[in-house]
Amino acid sequence: MNAPVRIFASLPAAETDDKDKQQGLEVTCLNKPVREVQVTGVAEVSCPADRAWLLVSVTSTKDSTNEVTNSISRRLEYIFQTIRQHGVSEEYTTVRRNVRRHAETYTMDVEILVTFSEFKKMEHMCCVLLEKLDKSVQVGTPRFFHSAACLSELRLRASVSAVENAQQKASKIAQLLGESLGATLLVREEETKEWRNEEEATGCVTTSHTMLSYLTSGGCRLPFYLFAMVLPLVSPHTLNRNQHQEHDHKERPKLLLVSFDGFRWDYIYRVPTPNFRSIMDEGVKVEFVENIYITKTYPNHYSMVTGLYAETHGVVANEMYDPALNLSFSMETDSVYNSRWWEQAVPLWVTVQKDGGRSGAAMWPGSDVLIHGVFPTRYLQYNASVSFEARVRRIIEWFSAPEGEAVDFGILYWEEPDESGHNLGPQSPLMDAIIAGIDEKLGFLLDELKKAGLYQKVNLVVTSDHGMAQLSPEKIIELDQYVDRDLYTWVDKSPVVGILPKEGKLDEVYAMLADANPNMVAYRKDDIPEHFHYQHNVRIMPILLEAKEGWTIMQNRTGLFMLGNHGYNNTLRDMQPVFVARGPAFRQNYIKASMRSVDLYPLMCHILAIQPLPNNGSLLNVRDLLSSEPTTSAPASAHSTPPPKVSRYSYAPVVGSFIGVVMVLGFLVVYVILVTLKQRPALKHRSWEMSQPLLQEDLHL
């Protein structure tokens, strides 16, 4: 497939006697020539999903808030009682409530997300709820997935099978070369890939029959393509080099990226924040961080891990419409798990894993989505009810794992102070306690790093996606006063709104909105300023409305109003996030005037010692944040052993290398032919996606 798993194995040519075995590998290599054979082992395993999400939605509309609350409460009480009766504890249940006003009525929506591990109980609970409750209660389609433990077990099974297959092939090759096969010297897993059954991908589970069909058909399958690889007929020095490579892998630098959603740049000065201050004293701080346009959560979080502007990475807003796919995206729905929204770019955790490293993600937007066939090595499925402390403990656990299992790159996300900023407004005195609480949570993270012995090893970056602006009920722009709703579709929300006019109505709608309100600017897509980097993507609508800071765009005043918001022009100071960092890679007690958020990606790649993909950032812009010492340097030992000498007149390496190359090419040709034939039906379907370039021509890299 497109993302095979690679396992490297080095095999000695001949069995050694007992004395040699007792003296160890290095003595064996010095006494006898070593023949290394490149072989290919392939394994594929499958098993049913062991987890499922079920979304239960309740809606009620009444004349007063008390009435709507009482109406919802009775049904919620029955739903929660039913959930508990089916053995689901509170920690596997997430509840979200929303109240909105329409004219003289109030509507309350409640969503309950339940995680099941016993599917028969889930099926039975669905039947009970549908039978006992009215149409105001909607039971959604179950979404099946594998737990992290299940994926780990599948990966192990596939690896073992692939190594066995590789050994069988290696035996035949050794026989061909007239040698006996020794023990495996090195096995290393490179990549894994997961995909769902086609039946599950093309249909929805709407009845118990299709649900059971899904479960018995195998759920999800994990294919693993495993390769054992070294050069044939090499000197003992090659083995030493392999050992040095393994040592380098163990010494790979560590990096943890933390995002506190909506943490404005000046919050650290508003109340005492001793833990932010300690990072500044021991590391670096950037005063002005220019994030990307638009200053919304999903676009900016994806820019941090790709180094790309929104028009290039494709996540252009929190709510999107793609006319090429004829699909809509909302951060409030399961559409976020559709890989096609994310695959116009490659996030950093995918690059780390393709480079042989390991990643861990705790609730970072998009990290629980299968992107280019890859999940993070370790990750938590998004669940807002999971505490910050629980997320931190899991991240620390991943960094503290044994050698060969510990993650190299971690990302951690927390929803505050964004949620409180929306509800209270950033100018509210109540925000002081929220900000102080965030600093305490940061202190908890620092303490846990110290307890685990990671404080001096892990490079820590603490930042945010955007700031927050204060709103006022007197500053509302009502679109219904200027244009008929039947002429357009509303995409995304204030303060930057995408307008999709009905067919043939573009000029008419734009004329109505162009000078509608002095506190709102209307752009045709082609006229959006170039410095926004927000033109060249089909998901950007034909008309873009941008409110001035502090103003809110609504269709009318019956919609939900917030006291704080973000999304405005990214040059506004209130939209800027915080940025502090510390660790072995960073300078100490250093303040930098400014940077761009897209510069963070090449900076992280440099710290992790991996090659960045094409991006809009620049390492030169942020190189002064780094300490003068190389992040991966290791002093040479005064007593290091020089590599053993190899006779310059030995023809064995030349002949063996030639034979090995011919065999490798043969295996490669067969493999490419098989993969091409297997993928042929999909190539035509994917031609449109493949034709879109990664970067636009006008981007300055």
Q: What is the pLDDT of residues 670-689, one digit of tens each?
A: 666 665 555 544 433 333 33
Do 408 and 608 contact (CB within 8 A), yes or no? yes
User: Residue 612: phi, psi to the nearest 5?
Assistant: -70, 150
**pLDDT tens-digit readout, 327-351:** 999 998 999 999 999 999 999 999 9
Q: Which of 297, 306, 312, 377 is catalytic?
A: 297
The pLDDT of residue 456 is: 97
DSSP-assigned beta bridge partners for residue 520? 547
**pLDDT tens-digit readout, 580-602:** 999 999 999 999 999 999 999 99
Average pLDDT over residues 414-424: 97
pLDDT at 295 over 90: yes
- Between 604 and 57, the more confident residue is 604
The share of the chain scoring above pLDDT 90, in percent, equals: 52
User: Residue 300: phi, psi to the nearest 5?
Assistant: -75, -35
Q: Which residues contact 152 (CB under 8 A, 6 or more apart)?
A: none
**pLDDT tens-digit readout, 253-275:** 999 999 999 999 999 999 999 99
- Between 249 and 474, the more confident residue is 474
pLDDT at 191 over 80: no
Band of pLDDT at residue 356, cut at 50, 70 and 90? very high
pLDDT at 193 over 90: no
- Between 119 and 590, the more confident residue is 590
Within 10 angstroms of residue 700's Cβ, the number of other Cβ atoms is 7
Cis peptide bond upstream of 272, omega within 30: no
What's the one-letter identity of residue 398? W
Alpha helices in 189-296 (DSSP H): 198-202, 208-216, 236-250, 267-270, 274-282
pLDDT at 570 over 80: yes
pLDDT at 201 over 60: no
- Between 62 and 231, the more confident residue is 62
- Between 472 and 103, the more confident residue is 472
The pLDDT of residue 672 is: 66
Tallying the residues shown for the chain, one arrives at 701
Q: What is the dihedral of CA 280, 283, 288, 294, to 10 degrees?
A: -100
Give SS3 for 564: strand
Q: What is the DSSP letter of 439?
A: H
CA distance linking residue 169 with residue 167, whole number of Å: 5
Strand order in the sheet with 543-547: 488-491, 496-501, 543-547, 520-524
Please say if 297 is a catalytic residue. yes
Band of pLDDT at residue 40, cut at 50, 70 and 90? low
Q: How far is CA 382 from the centre of its chain?
A: 11
CA distance linking residue 88 with residue 121, whole number of Å: 9
pLDDT at 102 over 60: yes
- Between 456 and 669, the more confident residue is 456
DSSP-assigned beta bridge partners for residue 256? 410, 460
DSSP-assigned beta bridge partners for residue 409? 255, 359
How would you classify the pairing of strands 359-362 and 378-380? Answer: parallel
Greatest C-alpha distance within the chain: 95
Poorest-pLDDT segment among 121-125, 494-498, 573-577 = 121-125
Residue 134: exposure state from Cβ atoms within 10 A (0-12, 13-18, ≥19)? exposed
Beta strand extents in 167-246 (DSSP E only): 195-196, 220-228
How would you classify the pairing of strands 143-145 and 51-62? Answer: antiparallel
Q: What is the dihedral of CA 359, 578, 389, 379, to 10 degrees?
A: -20
**pLDDT tens-digit readout, 175-186:** 777 777 766 656
The pLDDT of residue 652 is: 52
pLDDT at 481 over 80: yes
Do 288 and 442 contact (CB within 8 A), yes or no? no
- Between 463 and 95, the more confident residue is 463
Q: What is the 3-state secondary structure (H, E, C) of 541-587?
A: CCEEEEECCCCEEECCCCCCCCCEECCCCCCCHHHCECEEEECCCEC
Poorest-pLDDT segment among 439-448, 472-481, 651-660 = 651-660
CA distance linking residue 329 with residue 490, whole number of Å: 13
Average pLDDT over residues 640-667: 54
Give SS3 for 148: helix
Within 10 angstroms of residue 109's Cβ, the number of other Cβ atoms is 15
Can you tell me which residue has the tokens 């918001």?
Answer: 565
What domains lie within the chain, and their CATH numbers? 51-145 (3.30.70.120), 253-308+345-470+572-625 (3.40.720.10)
How would you classify the pairing of strands 137-139 and 51-62? Answer: antiparallel
Kindly calculate the radius of gyration of the chain based on its CA atoms and give it in whole angstroms: 29
The pLDDT of residue 188 is: 56
Q: Which residues contact 269 (CB under 8 A, 6 or more apart)?
A: none
Can you tell me which residue has the tokens 């050994």?
Answer: 167
The pLDDT of residue 183 is: 63
The pLDDT of residue 676 is: 59
Can you tell me which residue has the tokens 């090499």?
Answer: 234
- Between 500 and 47, the more confident residue is 500
The pLDDT of residue 24 is: 32
| Averaged pLDDT score across all residues of the chain | 80
Within 10 angstroms of residue 192's Cβ, the number of other Cβ atoms is 24
pLDDT at 495 over 60: yes
The token duo for 245 is 């490579």
